[in-house]
Every structure is written in structure tokens, then in C-alpha cells.
Amino acid sequence: MGAELGNYKSCVSARSTDKELLKHAQDGGIVTSLFAFALEEGIIDGAIVAANKEFAAKYPSKCMMDNSNFDMIEPWRPIPAIVNTKAELIAAAGTKYNISPNVSLLKEATRSFGLDKIGIVGTPCQMQAVRKAQLYPIGMRDVGASIALAVGIFCMENFPYQSILQLVEDHAAMKLESVKKMEIGKGKFWVYGKRGQVVQLPLKITHKYEQPGCHVCLDYVANLADVSTGSVGSPDGWSTVMVRSKIGDSVWGKAMAAGCFETQPIEKVKPGLELVTKLANEKITKNKKTLEGRATFGVGKALRNPYI
Amino acid sequence: MSKVVEISPTTRHEGHSKLVLKVNDQGIIETGNWCSITPVRGVEKLAVGKTPEQVPKIASRVCGICPIAHCLAATEAMEASIKCEIPNDAKMLRHILQLANRCHSIALHDILILPDFYIPGTETKINPFTAEEPVRSVAKRIQRLREIGQTIGQIAGGDCIHPRNTRIGGMYRNVSEQAKTKMYDLAKEGLTLSHQQAEFMIAVIRNYHNRDFVDVGGMKVPMPKTLGYHNQGYLATHAFYGSTSMDECPSWDINRFKEARPYDWYMGEMEVTLEEPKYPIGGTTKMGTKVNPQMEACTGIPMYDGQPVEVGPRARLVRYKNFDMKGTKGQNIAREMEYQDCFYEMIDCIDALNTSGKVVADYIPNGDGSLGWASNEAPRGTDVHIARVNDWKVQYFSMLVPTTWNFATCSKALEGAPWQLAEVIMRGYDPCVSCATHMIVLDEENKMIAQKLIQ
């Protein structure tokens, strides 16, 4: 081990200086703030984000929709969308703990949306997809060169929509419509209701609801993003930010100079990188074991390993 | 004594074809057969039983230069069969896509024909790949024009090669305001470039046809003033887009159309008796080789009013703008003249497009098996698709593709030209041979072709 956090140029604990924006953000508002800055500066001319039902009702033409998936618009199901303004960004802010196929909009962004410089946010696997599309563009003509800023978020595992439905409505005994925020932290799955209820579920009960595909993932902190960010390592309301690529460095530097973020050195905050490293290690070790298990899954037969 | 010479394969056009030419002692063509030898893929037969959603996507794969024409013609043939009216903004998007594809196709054809031509006033043939001026800046302009055409097509149609956005009943998506502006800017840039490019090409084409002799592989070949002339007449259904059987006044009449088999049209078995190793590059077919266009040709012969006709840019200009220049020269010039028209029309369409407009019809019927057809003015001419859809399944599908129309017409036009210039005449038609060879001609009554091929 030792490479569990990937390559990065710098790492800080940060939060947005925009108070209005912070009200809607999951943690430090890094993704929303960074995209808002990049849109303003013309670094990107649109961003692919995970929006929601309310967003789709307000901006239907910004979402990938045809007649076939109207019935997929449910509370807390993420809907990939393309945003061009800060207001739209804020409307789409916040973590949805189930699958959002953001990469499905990647090609369309360069087509009917007419983007030249795309910003995209996603989990580590989605950052892998973006990089793969850039290097091996299969059916992805003109997409690679259009990707201007890829922001990755830390991800331990994800859930199908049905799992979230069950966790919230059965285990937490709350209607999805009345949920204000969900969060995984401090070893618990937290559900905050709009009327002030707070329910915490031990992570142990969520395990069986995880998406099985997450169990072969060897990336915790979005190693392939330009900038990756997540809550782990920083205090509440703050995010851990890792600046990785030249592009990331340049955008982050400009955003800092413009006063978009306040930061603290990661070494100064608790629990800091130590916890990030520990969790990354746990994820990778556990999932490597699953991968090894696939090699001898059958009698004299193996399951496929996408890494070899 | 006439001799037989064969150029196989022909080059600098799309697909796989050959020229079998019966020439006199001066090397002037007496009878010319231009035939497709592209393997038949049988799209029309395999379409039967599939859904009308699938078939246009398959038909699109007939050709990668003009997939838009096939995709749109097939989609609209299905819509004509099920009688589905599409919203106006979907029509605008389709028009933009169509025009963008035409621009890109004309530019690509420029690259293919330029090596035949001379830099005006010199004895230097144009090599589009050279880094020397003035050719390099022309090549760059062509590439930019193609890029513009493809990018606009990509935005309006989802993809420039095999558009994804088209669907039965309209389009999957409208474009964003941002995308509309981008298309507009690109079209404006394209307009300027197309003016320059068309002017350049027309000068080069005129210069070539005004010469007394041209050089082909070191041979000094006389340039006839009537190169590529024929008396077959013209067919076009629209100056830009096309027509369908749902139109109030359709501009194509299915009753005037008939298809003959290659067996009735082409020459029979012959032996090659003239060989020219100097013909660029690699010489012509070896002496003594047996050729048989009747059996080898892979396309049918569509006829309008009992005759093969010419389709393409010149046919459109003749029909809609009283263009009167004949022969290969007229053909090439007509194609260049379409350049600017494309961009002007495209800008009008972009202006007319409402980006918040509806692009899918509210009601899409399943079809009752009635016959519908749609023609699309592909870069190379009239592309007519005919379909019957019943209960959301394709019962019958037929494609009459521009180069299929042109095969027989071009064969006629070869007569009277030196055989070394046969390919130049052929390129005047901007042939798209894989487009033409999408089917096997089968006489439904007595299965003639199938039998002949088996023997």
C-alpha cells in the first residue's frame, strides 16, 4: 500500500466562502463552488451533475429524458443533468446515495447541448469511465477533447434506488419525500427529516443493500479526477480536497485567488489524512479480496476480472 | 476491331466497382459498363420483420458518407407508411442535419477529384496531400469545411456518422439555445469558406475541361469537349430536402418507376484484349481475363419512365434552377454551386428553429400495412425508400439509392470518351457504390437473378 490516495499535488481542508451556497451543500460546497467559478470564468461552458426530481420539474430540457423514463423521476433518485448557471448548480447540490449515471450524458453534452468544455462530477468509477473515454473513445467521438474539468468525489460504496427506499422507509421509518438530507459518516447512515427528525442506522445493516459492483472497486478518493473531494478527514461543514492534475491545479489556484474557498492545511485538522488513508486501505484491501475470490469462484472456473 | 479493356478496381470514390469498356482502335469507348462489385449485404431483405425503429438505423449503415440520407429516408418512409406527422422543429433539425451532411460530402468529394485536375495555367496536377502552396491551404479549407459540416450534423443529429437523434415521429431531443448559437456561428464560418472553395474548384474544373490534352499515367489523352454527355434526362425531388407520399403534391411518382435486372442491361461474357500497364497505379486487368458484367454487377437498374436517369446536384439544379451545362464539367460545377446554397438554407433553418419546441409527435400509429415512400435528396441525388409497416413491424422495405440510378446513366455517358478518362466521368457522379449495392435484385415472380447466379 501507500498508493491508496493516488497522485496529488496538494491536499487541504476547504469550504466555500459563499454562505448562500453552503446552505444547500452536502459538506463544504466544493463541487458546486468550483463549477460555479469555472462557469463564470469560461473554463467550462456547462457541467454534468446529479440533479433531482425538483430540478427535473423546473428545468426539464436540462435533463436526459425521453418518454421512456418519466416514471423514474422519484424523490431522492438522482437525475443526470447539464447545468449552465449557479442557480441550476445550487438546485442540483447535495449527495444522493444511489446510482446516478452521469457518464450517460457525456456524449450528449457535446451534441444537442452544444458544449465545448464540459465539467463533470462523479464517483471514482465515473472518473475512470471519463478517462477511459478520453484514451479509448469507443463510440465517443469528439468527447475526449471536450472534457475540461473532472471533479471526483470520495466513494466507499453506492446503493441501488430500491436499497435507499428500503433503508429510509423501512429501517429509518421515514417517507422519502420528508427527508432533507442523508449522510454516511462516523460509522452511521444518517437520515435527517424535514421536520427535524434524525435517524441513525448502523452501517452493518446497510451492507446487504450495497450495489454488488462496488465490491470490486479499488479506488476510494477518485484517483483519476482533476480535483477530488469528500467529507472524510475534515470537520463537519468542511471538505477534504485533493488537487491532482495540471488542469485541477490551475483551476483550483484561480478559484483560491478569486476567494472562492477558505482553507486549512490538512495536517492541522482532525481527523485528517490519517483517517482517509485508513479507510482507503480498508476499502482496497477488502475489495482486492473479493477480486481474488472471483478467480476461484467456480469449481475449475473463474469469474471475469476486468483489471487483467 | 473493338477491344475490351477493364479498369478494376476503380479508385477515389466510395465502395468497390469496376469499368468494363469496349473501345475502338483510337481507344474511344463504344460501349461502357460501369458495375458494382461490392458484395451484396441485403439490407432490404433482412429488414423484413424488424421494427420500424430498427430499420432506419440499419439502413444508415449502408453508407458512412451519406448515412443521413438513408437514415432520414428510411425513417420518413416508415412515417409515411404509418401516416405520422412530425412537429415542425423536428423537421428543422432534420433539414439542418441533411444540409450539414451535404456540405461535408461535397468537401470530401473535392479531395477525391482534385488529383485529376491541374493547378490552372500549369502542367502540375494537384496532389491534395502535398505540403506545398497553394494546395495546402485548399486542403486545410476542405478539412475545416468538413469539420463544420460534421459538427453541425453532430449537434442536430446526435452524430455525424449514423445519426442517433432521429426517431419515428421526430427527434429524440431538441437542441439547447447554446447549441443553436454554436451551429449558427459554424454555419456563418462555413458560408465564407464555401464561397472561397466553390470559386477555387470551379476555376480548376473549367481549366481542366478547356485543355486539349490531359495526362494519364504518362499517356497524352485528348480531352473531348463533350466528355460525359448523355441524353438520359434528370430526376430530382427537391432542391434541398426531399418529398414523401404524405405530401400534398409529392414530387416523385412511384408509378413511373420500374426496376430492371442487371442481366437485361449489361454486356455478356467477354475477354480482356487490351492491357495498359502504365494506367495509374498498377495498370489495367491482364489480357485474357474473362469478364462478365451481366453476372458480376451487384445492382439493379432503376428506371423512370422506362429509362435510366441522372440524379445528383446537376439534376437538382436542372430541375429547380434551369442549369444547362452538360457533361462531367457541368456535373462537377453543379456540385460546387450547391455549397453556398447549403449554408444559406442551413442558416435559415437554424433561424427558424425554436429550441423549446416539441420534437416528437404526440401520437405515433402502429401502421396498417399501407405503402409509404420518402425521398431524400442525398449529396449524390434522389434516395427513395419505400416501406410497408403493419402493427409496428416492417413488412416490406426497398431502397432506390442515388448511385443505383446513376450506374446505367453513367455507363451511357462513357460512350465517345477516351477510355483513360472513364474514371473521370465516373467520378463526376460522386459514386457511392456501397450505397448502391445494398440489395440483391430478385424478380419476385421467377427468381431470375437467384437462378442465374446459381448456374
User: Residue A113 and residue B356: Cβ atoms within 8 Å?
Assistant: no
On average, the pLDDT of chain B sits at 92
Residue A245 CA, distance from chain mean position = 18
B55 contacts B76 by C-beta, under 8 angstroms: no
CB-CB: which of B158, B161, B360 is closest to A111?
Answer: B158
Which is it for the CA torsion B43, B46, B52, B53, positive or negative? negative
Give the pLDDT score at B185.
97
Cell of B66: 451519406
Q: State how far Cα B161 lies from the chain centre.
A: 15
- At A67 the pLDDT is 55
Q: Which residues pair with A149 in a beta bridge?
A: A119
Please tell me if residue B173 touches chain A, with a CB cutoff of 8 Å: yes
Burial level of B389, CB count in 10 A (0-12/13-18/19+)?
buried
Contact B48, B399 (CB under 8 A): no
Residues 337-396 of B with CB under 8 A from A: 355-356, 360
Checking if the pLDDT of B143 tops 50, the result is yes
What's the average model confidence in pLDDT over B411-420? 94
Q: Which residues of A touch B356 (CB under 8 A)?
A: 61
- Considering chain B, what percentage of its residues have pLDDT values greater than 70? 96
pLDDT at site A23: 92
Q: pLDDT value at position A68?
A: 59
Chain A interface includes B187 (CB < 8 A):
no
Distance CA B169, CA B143 (A): 34
pTM over 0.95, yes/no: no
H or E element at residue B145: helix B135-157
The average confidence (pLDDT) of chain A is 94
Residues of A with CB under 8 A from a CB of B: 45-46, 61, 66-67, 82, 84, 108, 110-116, 141-142
Q: Is B181 on the interface with A (CB under 8 A)?
A: yes
pLDDT of residue B38: 83
The chain A residue lying nearest B153, using CA atoms, is A111
A-chain CB neighbours of B181 within 8 Å are 114
How far is residue A145's CA from residue A110's CA, in Å, rounded to a whole number?
Answer: 10
Q: Cα–Cα distance between B434 and B36 in angstroms, integer? A: 8
pLDDT of B232-251, one tens digit each? 999 999 999 999 999 999 99
- On the question of pLDDT at B448 being above 70, the answer is no
Residue A70 has pLDDT above 80, yes or no: no
Share of chain A above pLDDT 70, in %: 98
What pLDDT is attached to residue A1?
Answer: 59
Rounded Cα gap, residues B440 and B36, in angstroms: 12
Which amino acid, one-letter code, is at B248? E
Q: Is B53 on the interface with A (CB under 8 A)?
A: no
Q: Which residues of A are less than 8 Å from B174 in CB distance?
A: 61, 112
Q: In angstroms, rounded to a whole number, what is the distance separating the alpha carbons of residues B35 and B404?
A: 10
Which domains, from first to last, does chain B contain? 3-454 (1.10.645.10)
Contact A107, A143 (CB under 8 A): yes
Which three cell numbers, joined as nine digits, stand for A268?
Answer: 492541522
CA distance B270 to B266: 12
Q: Which of A171, A170, A176, A163 is nearest to A214 (CA)?
A: A163
* Closest C-alpha to B279, from B328, B215, B228: B215
Residues A89, A138, A46, CA angle at the centre, nearest 5°?
Answer: 15
Q: Is B3 on the interface with A (CB under 8 A)?
A: no
Distance spanning both ends of chain B, measured CA to CA: 31
Q: What's the pLDDT at A2?
A: 73
Contact B389, B109 (CB under 8 A): no
Alpha carbons A53 and A77: distance in angstroms, whole number: 7
The answer, yes or no, to whether residue A98 has pLDDT greater than 50, is yes
Q: Name the closest residue on chain A to residue B181, using Cα atoms.
A: A114
Each residue's pLDDT tens digit, B39-56: 888 888 899 999 999 999
pLDDT score at B428: 95
Q: For residue range B275-324, list pLDDT tens digits in order.
A: 999 999 889 999 999 998 888 888 888 889 988 999 999 999 999 999 99
B299 neighbors B36 (Cβ within 8 angstroms)? yes
Q: How far is A307 from chain B (nearest CA, A)?
A: 31
| pLDDT of the residue at B413 | 95
Using CA coordinates, name the residue in chain A closest to B184. A114
In this prediction, residue B438 carries a pLDDT of: 63
Burial class (CB in 10 A: 0-12, 13-18, 19+), B429: buried
pLDDT of residue B281: 85
Nearest Cα of chain A lies from the Cα of B325 at a distance, in angstroms, of 40
Residue B266 carries which DSSP code? S
Q: Of B450 and B403, which is predicted with more confidence?
A: B403
Name the closest residue on chain A to residue B165, using Cα atoms.
A112
Task: Identify the pLDDT of residue B435.
Answer: 80
Predicted confidence band of residue B450 (pLDDT cuts 50, 70, 90): very low
Q: What domains, with CATH codes, occur in chain A? A: 10-155+217-295 (no CATH), 159-209 (3.10.450.750)
No. of helices (H) and no. of strands (E), chain A? 10, 11
Whether the pLDDT of residue B341 is over 50: the answer is yes
Instruction: Give B41's DSSP letter.
Output: -
Closest in B172, B175, B356 to A114, CB measured: B175
User: What pLDDT is recorded for position A293?
Assistant: 96
Whether residue B18 lies within 8 A of chain A, CB to CB, comes out as no
Is the distance from CB of A26 to CB of A231 less than 8 angstroms? Answer: yes
pLDDT at B454: 39
Structural contact between residues B61 and B312, judged by C-beta atoms closer than 8 angstroms = no
* A164-184 pLDDT per residue, tens: 999 999 999 999 999 999 999
Average the pLDDT over B158-183 and give the result. 95
Residue B446 pLDDT greater than 70, yes or no: no
Residue from B152, B154, B353 whose CB has the most chain A CBs within 10 Å, to mutate: B154
Note the pLDDT tens digit of each residue in A257-302: 999 999 999 999 989 999 999 999 999 999 999 999 999 999 999 9
